Structure formats: C-alpha cells, structure tokens
DNA sequence: CCCAAGTGCGAACAGTGTTCTTGAATTCCT
DNA sequence: AGGAATTCAAGAACACTGTTCGCACTTGGG
C-alpha cells in the first residue's frame, strides 16, 4: 500500500499473497474440512512450521479464506448487478439471484464454507467477516429501500400480522425499512439460499437439466415477493 | 430380530448398538467434521482397532449416523403430522414445517450432517440413505397428491411456462403429480430448508426472538404456495 | 560494521484413521 | 468331550494432521 516499502516488507506481502493463493487452491480442491496446513505448505514449497510466521494457525487461515470468498462473491454479484439500469428493479433482483447462483455453482467448496455447515470448534470473528459478508445482502437491502414501487404483500394468508413484522424491522439494523418490505426481502433471500444449497448439496434426486427451471421458479418467486404483480409494462420474453 | 439368537450374535448386536449410541453422542458433541473414531472407542472403553470389526471405517460410521438421523427426523415429523386431521391439508403442512424446524434446532449437528455441506471425500450411498432420507419429503408429496384442493399458482409473474414445468414433472419420479403442483412443493421445501439453514448456520444477524416470526412467514409462504388463497372457512386464530 | 530483528527449517509432541499381528475366548463339529 | 475353526479384543505400527520450539541464517538500520 504505502509507496515506501522496505524489501523486507514487500517480501512479506508476497509470501502472504502466495499463501492465500495456495490456500484458495487447496480449498477449491478438497473443501474446508479437508483443508490442510501442511498441504498448503507443500504447495508453496515451504516447511509447515514456516507458515506460522504469517498466520497464527488454522483458524486464521479459515478466516482469511472466508473473507476472501465473501469478497470474491460480493464483487462478482456487484459487477453484474451494476450492469442493469437502476430503474429496472426486477431486473436487478434477477441479476443478483442468478449471479449469486452462478458464482456458487462455479465455487461449490467456497459456497459450502460461507453458507454451509459451520466448521466445528471455529467461530468466525464477526468484525472481520461482516463487512465482506454483507455485500450481497446489502445489494438486496438497497433494492428494498427504493421508493417508487415495492407494493407490500398482504396476499399471503396466515402471515404474521403487521405488529410482529414491525418488531422484526426494528430488531434488524435497517431502521428505514418497514416490516413488510423487510420480511419480503428476507424471504426472498432465504428461499434463494435454500434453492442453491439444495442444488449444490444434492438434496434433490432430479437430473441436473431441470434444476435450471426450478431455479427460474425460485427467482420468479423472489421477484413476486419483492415487487408483486407487474404493472402493465413491456411483456417481452423473459429469457 | 430372530428369537433364536446365539449369545455371540446377541453380543454383536449389543456392541453395534453401543457403538451407534456412542457415535451419536460424539456427533451431538463435536459435529460431523470433528467426529473421531478414537473418541468413540474411548467413550465405549474399547481399543480403536476393535471397532473395525463392526464398521468398515469412518465412512460407514458416517453413513450409519446419517440414516439414523434421517430416521429420527422422519419419525418425529411423521408422529406430529399424524396428529392433525387428514382433511386439514394446510394444518398438515404447518405441522410438517414446524416439526421439521423443531427437530432441527434441537439437533443442530445432525441437521448440518443431513442438510449442510457434504463431508469431503465422502459420498453417501443413495441405496442406504434414500429410504430414510425421503420420509419427510414423502409426507410433502402425499400432501401434493391430495385431490380436492391445491389450486395451481399462476399468480407469480415470470414463472417458467407450463411446458417446462411439465418437463420437470416427468423428470422427477412423481409421475402422478403435474408440474405446477410439483414446483409448488419444491419451492415450499427449498424455502423451508433455506430458512432453517440460515437460522441454524447463523447467517442472519438478528436477535433470536425475531427468528420465530420470520419462520412463521416462511410457513405462511409455503402454505400459500401449496394451497393458495383460503376458501371461505373457519377463520380462527392460527396460533 | 555489528547487533537485533525477521525468517526458514528440522525435530518433536500429541493427536488422527487404518492395518496387521498376536493371543485369548467362544462356537461348531465330530 | 475334545479338537478345529471362527470371532474377537488389544497392541504395535504407519502415515498423516496441527502446532511448538530451538537453532541457523539472512538482512536492515543505527
């Protein structure tokens, strides 16, 4: 970062970067639970004990990988979401959802690390993972903040009443959003995570080709949850 | 099983049962990734090598635990679902969803084993896990087969059209169910899994008290997906 | 120039899954 | 009943893991 950097310091940055790169390779190969410090050391041609000059242990390596994966995912989704015109709220949602799924199927082990079972004996430090971990949900929140549209969805019977939703809203740290909008966003989000998890973790016995249309249905459901019935606009083919 | 069982055979059954019990304890304590054959052996006062007379290795131990957990969960949900009158389809769905969540929060490590990230280097043999793993989804499928109600849900815009849903239906091995019903059930199911996973794996920063109302919303969404608007019946308090 | 800091390495410890051998206990057969 | 065959539990061993420690060595700053 600083332009004046001693050779020593620069080398340290290089080694740190190589370490993280090797760890990423190892994670993509064997997954989080099978991640081995010694394998990382082998991959970069160093003794295992040498790595402990750069990381405090396996836990910090996991933390590094988590924020790295969160940032990779967040950047990917942000890049694609930025593509669609700001006024097209439904398109922005679809871009978020599909790019989220796209990154996930391309990086299944990273997805499992972020949204799958937590690694036992390890608790991610929230102060380090939070900024990167909320990037994609922040996109969703920004979508929910947009004023013009977003009709509330009272069409669903047996929904928790307005008071409870209000309590949900104040509990969350999104004070400017009312309960109906917040619960819509949360439902769309958890449905999205559930669809991707079910697909990647292979809880569905169906052939893969049909998973696409099932995911399309999930996206449509989320869109309806967020924005309701479309209001008399162009009805082109949504492909 | 057979009434005439030699002492040797009986002892083998006892040891096998004790082994599975110890493995369950260990799983509940440390989770699947932290499960240790040696710890199980210690717990039952045996040498680690002795266990290999009863299991072929760590993988079979995992398989045993998986079908055991699936059966425990399936039995729990079935028992509660049986409670509500058969004609009350919406109540049956709600019973399935809430009991599914109830078991999951009571057995987080088992839930992670079943619906979380798959253990690396391990692939569950479908012929052994399938019968137990489909018990709760079978309950859902039975709900979808019921004739009287179940209006299709074309209200959601941008849904995949009928042809694609038909293809989804014939791809699944549920031939008697049409595409609309099948996709409704699948959406309700993946949304349910997503809600429970997000809650248990702590992807939501909200306080725990509000998770209840968020889950209520998920249940309501699933109910609407499966059965649509209620048709002029008793409007008692749904608590 | 020289000393202190930073760096890499090898050995070592405790733990893991798994295999093999060895010896004892039990069952089976005649 | 006695000998043979099978089953069982245990111990030692191997290859692997995360981690610590002490020892050498390079390097940068006063």
Q: Which residue is nearest to nucleotide D16 (CA to C1')?
A: A38
Question: What is the predicted pLDDT for the residue at B232?
Answer: 54
Tokens of B193: 């899994």
The position carrying tokens 């669903």 is A156
Taking CA atoms, what residue in A is nearest to B210?
A168
Instruction: Please answer yes or no on whether A121 and B172 come within 8 Å at the CB atom.
Output: no
Tokens of A15: 């080694």
B7 in contact with nucleic chain C (CB within 7 A): yes
pLDDT for the residue numbered B132: 95
Series of mean pLDDT values for 10-residue runs along chain B (239 residues): 60 92 95 93 96 94 96 98 95 98 97 92 86 94 75 72 79 71 91 97 77 94 87 49
B143: CB partners within 8 A, 6+ apart = B89, B92, B93, B96, B185, B226
Which residue of B lies nearest to A130 if distances are taken between CA atoms? B205
| Contact partners, residue B35, CB within 8 Å, separation at least 6 | B23, B26, B27, B58, B61, B62, B65
Domain boundaries, chain B: 8-55, 56-227
CB A15 under 7 Å to nucleic chain C: yes
Check CB contact under 8 Å for A189 and B167.
Answer: no
Tell the CATH topology of B56-227.
Tetracycline Repressor; domain 2 (1.10.357)
On strand D, nucleotides with any atom < 7 Å from a protein CB are 7-13, 16-22, 27-29
DSSP A26-39: HHHHH-STT--HHH
Instruction: Provide, in whole angstroms, the distance separating residue B32's CA from nucleotide C5's C1'.
Output: 43
Q: Report the distance separating Cα A97 and Cα A223, nearest Å.
A: 10
**Cβ-nearest to B197 among A33, A157, A193:** A193
pLDDT reported for residue B2 = 42
**Cβ-based neighbours of B182, under 8 Å, separated by 6 or more:** B144, B165, B168, B169, B172, B174
The pLDDT, as a whole number, for residue A166 is 78
Q: Which residue is nearest to nucleotide C25 (CA to C1')?
A: B8
Nucleotide C12's nearest residue (CA vs C1') is: A49
- Give the Cα separation of A201 and A162 in Å (integer): 35
pLDDT in tens, B136-148: 999 998 998 886 5
What distance in Å separates the CA atoms of residue A53 and residue A24, rounded to the nearest whole number? 19
Chain B residue whose CA is closest to A121: B30
Residue whose CA is minimally distant from C19 C1': B49
Separation of CA B214 and C1' C8 in angstroms? 53
In angstroms, the CA of A6 and the C1' of C5 are apart by 14
Q: What is the pLDDT along chain A (239 residues), one digit of tens a residue?
A: 445 567 777 889 999 999 999 999 999 999 998 899 999 999 999 999 999 999 999 999 999 999 999 999 999 999 999 999 999 999 999 999 999 999 999 999 999 999 999 887 788 888 999 999 999 999 998 998 886 555 556 678 788 888 888 788 777 666 667 778 888 899 999 999 999 999 999 888 765 668 999 999 999 999 999 988 776 554 444 43
A–B CB contacts, 8 A cutoff, strictly below: 200
Which secondary structure element, helix H or strand E, spans residue A138, and what is its range? helix A135-145
How far apart are the C-alpha atoms of A153 and A142, rounded to whole Å?
18
Write out pLDDT tens, residues A86-108.
999 999 999 999 999 999 999 99
Return the closest-CA partner of residue A198 out of B168, B117, B181.
Answer: B117
- Give me the long-range contacts of A147-153 (CB less than 8 A, separation at least 24): A148/A89, A149/A89, A149/A227, A149/A231, A150/A89, A150/A181, A150/A184, A150/A226, A150/A227, A151/A227, A151/A228, A151/A229, A152/A178, A152/A180, A152/A181, A152/A184, A153/A180, A153/A184, A153/A224, A153/A225, A153/A228
Nearest to B172 among A195, A206, A230 (CB): A206
- Rounded CA-CA distance B120/A29 in Å is 10
For domain B8-55, give the fold: Arc Repressor Mutant, subunit A (1.10.10)
Name which of A73, A88, A190 to mutate to probe chain B: the one with the most chain B Cβ atoms within 10 A of its Cβ.
A190
**Distance D16 C1' – A38 CA (angstroms):** 10
The verdict on a CB contact (< 8 Å) between A214 and B168 is yes
* Cross-chain residue pair A32–B206, CB shorter than 8 Å: no
Instruction: Please give the radius of gyration of chain B, using alpha carbons only, rounded to the nearest integer.
Output: 21
pLDDT of residue A204: 85
Asked if A58 CB < 7 A from strand C, the reply is no
Contact B116, A201 (CB under 8 A): yes
- Between CA A91 and CA A84 the distance in angstroms is 7
How many Å does it take to go from CA A14 to C1' C7?
14
Residue B169: closest C-alpha in chain A: A210
To test the contact with chain A by mutation, choose from B101, B206, B214 the residue with the greatest count of A C-beta atoms within 10 A, namely B214
What was the pLDDT predicted at B3? 45
Q: Within window 59-78 on B, which residues have Cβ closer than 7 Å to strand C?
A: 59
CATH number of A79-227: 1.10.357.10
């Amino acid at each position: 970062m600083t332009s004046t950097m001693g050779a020593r310091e620069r080398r340290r940055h290089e080694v740190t970067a190589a370490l993280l790169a090797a760890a990423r390779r190892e994670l993509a190969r064997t997954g989080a639970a099978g991640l081995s410090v010694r394998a990382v050391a082998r991959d970069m041609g160093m003794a295992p004990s040498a790595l402990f000059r750069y990381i405090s242990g396996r836990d910090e390596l996991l933390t590094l990988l988590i924020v790295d994966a969160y940032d990779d995912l967040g950047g990917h989704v942000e890049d694609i979401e930025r593509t669609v015109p700001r006024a097209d709220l439904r398109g922005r949602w679809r871009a978020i959802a599909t790019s989220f799924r796209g990154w996930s199927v391309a990086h299944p082990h990273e997805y499992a690390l972020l949204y799958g079972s937590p690694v036992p004996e390890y608790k991610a430090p929230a102060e380090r993972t939070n900024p990167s971990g909320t990037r994609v949900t922040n996109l969703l929140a920004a979508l929910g903040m947009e004023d013009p549209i977003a009709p509330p969805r009272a069409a669903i019977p047996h929904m928790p009443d307005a008071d409870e939703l209000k309590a949900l809203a104040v509990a969350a740290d999104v004070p400017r959003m009312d309960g109906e909008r917040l619960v819509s966003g949360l439902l769309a989000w958890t449905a999205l995570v559930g669809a991707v998890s079910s697909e990647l973790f292979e809880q569905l016995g169906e052939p893969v080709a049909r998973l696409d249309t099932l995911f399309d249905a999930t996206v449509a459901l989320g869109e309806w949850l967020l924005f309701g019935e479309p209001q008399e606009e162009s009805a082109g083919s949504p492909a």
